[in-house]
Amino acid sequence: MSTSILDAYKVKQEKADLYDGKKLKVGIIGTGWISEAHLHSYEKCPDVELVAAADLIEGKAKAFCEKYGHPEIRCYRSHKEMLDAEELDAVSVCTYNATHAECSIYALEKGVNVLLEKPMCVTLEEAIAICRAEKKSGKVLSIGFQPRFDENMKMVKNIVQSGELGEVYYIQTGGGRRHGIPTPFGTSFIEKETAGLGALGDIGCYSLDMVLNAVGYPKPLTVTGYTSDFFGHRPDYLEKPEYAEKFGVDDFAAAFVRLEGGIILDFRIAWAMHMDTPGDSLIFGKEAGLRIPSTDCWNGSIGGPLKVYHNVAGICVDTTIPEARNKGDNFDKKIRSFIDAIEYGLPSPVPSGQIIYNQAILDGIARSARLGREVAIEIPEI
């Protein structure tokens, strides 16, 4: 058994008296693609009762609940309607990016704990407002980065945190797809009004989280960003040709970011490109370097064994780290850790205090790309 599981078990034992044994009443806001995964993971929690669901589209929440065998769940036409009518302990915010902020803030103001899907939101301004609402509420806010629970992703962090690399000074990260603009159930990922950000927000946030979490989430200081949309308007790159007219976000982004502590972050992400991969993720330290082979890290996977490059008695040595085996499902762990945090008064599993820096970088890239110059990142006291 790993130390972290033992630690979590011990904390739960010590704090057992904080949990009153009542089932938590949970609601789902937004019943599109990802809400199914939330529903199934909540179903596996015996201490959770799914009582409400909401979607802006008439009949969508009801059809969703019936499809998955929950006709008893009460359905509403918006997050407001649901939160005004119900006494909930927690919600999953599974809406498209553009409504993440309003749904989360409204829930927190009602004293409801929030599991918010990634990316945190669209702009830094929204992220600041979410963090302020969280602080005022004293409730748990966790952001939905399930790769955090993957054993290999944890290994990336453990290697950096062990000090093996020495002081980190340069990071390269990113990833992407050669031909993969997502329109799984319509155009909510590619329209400006619903997605806000394209590849940058959708998968860029994962690549950033993988490396920033490993190095301890240093504060971003400045960003020079670039975005483009050379593929999203081409009918041959979309599931349905008519989607091309609706495309309003980036399908590629790149950036050069200065982080506190003198660390340079070199980043690129693509939904479409004439290339197999924009590269491996690399973390350079003064004592050793770490290679994370090019990976769809949003699936919590690594593209092959991690490799550490170092010197032994003056000889260049490469150490291959055996891949860790995962037990259980990362999505289930994301939901379980959120529920545990509520019941046992534990810290948020994926805290906003870290992810606000992730959002600040996304926002900085989009802003810098618009202005065509480097921008400074300023985050006020929350």
Ligand X SMILES: NC(=O)c1ccc[n+]([C@@H]2O[C@H](COP(=O)([O-])OP(=O)(O)OC[C@H]3O[C@@H](n4cnc5c(N)ncnc54)[C@H](O)[C@@H]3O)[C@@H](O)[C@H]2O)c1
Where do contacts with ligand X occur on this chain (CB under 6 A)? 29-35, 54-57, 60, 78-79, 94-97, 99, 103, 117-118, 144, 146, 185, 188, 202
- Report which secondary-structure segment, H or E, holds 11: helix 3-14
Which CB atom, from 36 or from 164, has the smaller least distance to ligand X?
36
The beta-strand segments (E) located in 126-199 are 141-143, 168-176
d(CA 134, CA 116): 12
- The distance of closest approach from Cβ of residue 239 to ligand X in the complex, given in angstroms and rounded to an integer, is 14
CB 308 within 8 A of CB 214: no
Beta carbon of residue 200, minimum distance to ligand X (angstroms, whole number)? 12
Minimum CB separation of residue 288 from ligand X in Å reads: 32
Query: DSSP E strands: which ranges in the chain?
Result: 24-29, 48-54, 74-76, 90-93, 113-116, 141-143, 168-176, 220-228, 252-259, 263-270, 281-285, 288-292, 306-312, 315-321, 375-376
Compare residues 172 and 213 and give the one whose CB is closer to ligand X: 213
Task: Check if the beta carbon of residue 53 is closer than 8 Å to that of residue 77.
Answer: no
| Shortest separation between residue 54's beta carbon and ligand X, angstroms | 4
Q: Which is nearer to ligand X, 32 or 303 (CB)?
A: 32
CA pair distance 248, 191, nearest whole angstrom: 5
Question: From the CB of 76, what's the least distance to ligand X, in Å?
Answer: 8
- What lies within 8 Å, CB to CB, of 162 at 6+ separation is none
Q: Which residue is nearest to ligand X (CB)?
A: 32
Residue with Cβ nearer ligand X (54 or 155) = 54
Shortest Å, Cβ 97 to ligand X: 5
- Give the nearer residue to ligand X in terms of CB position, either 172 or 187: 187
Q: What is the DSSP string of 63-113?
A: HHHHHTT-TTSEEESSHHHHHHH---SEEEE-S-GGGHHHHHHHHHHTT-E
Nearer to ligand X, 117 or 251 (CB): 117
Nearest distance from residue 359's CB to ligand X, in Å? 12
**What gap in Å lies between CA 368 and CA 376, rounded to an integer?**
9
Question: Residue 31 or 281: which CB sits closer to ligand X?
Answer: 31
Q: Are 269 and 168 in contact (CB under 8 A)?
A: no
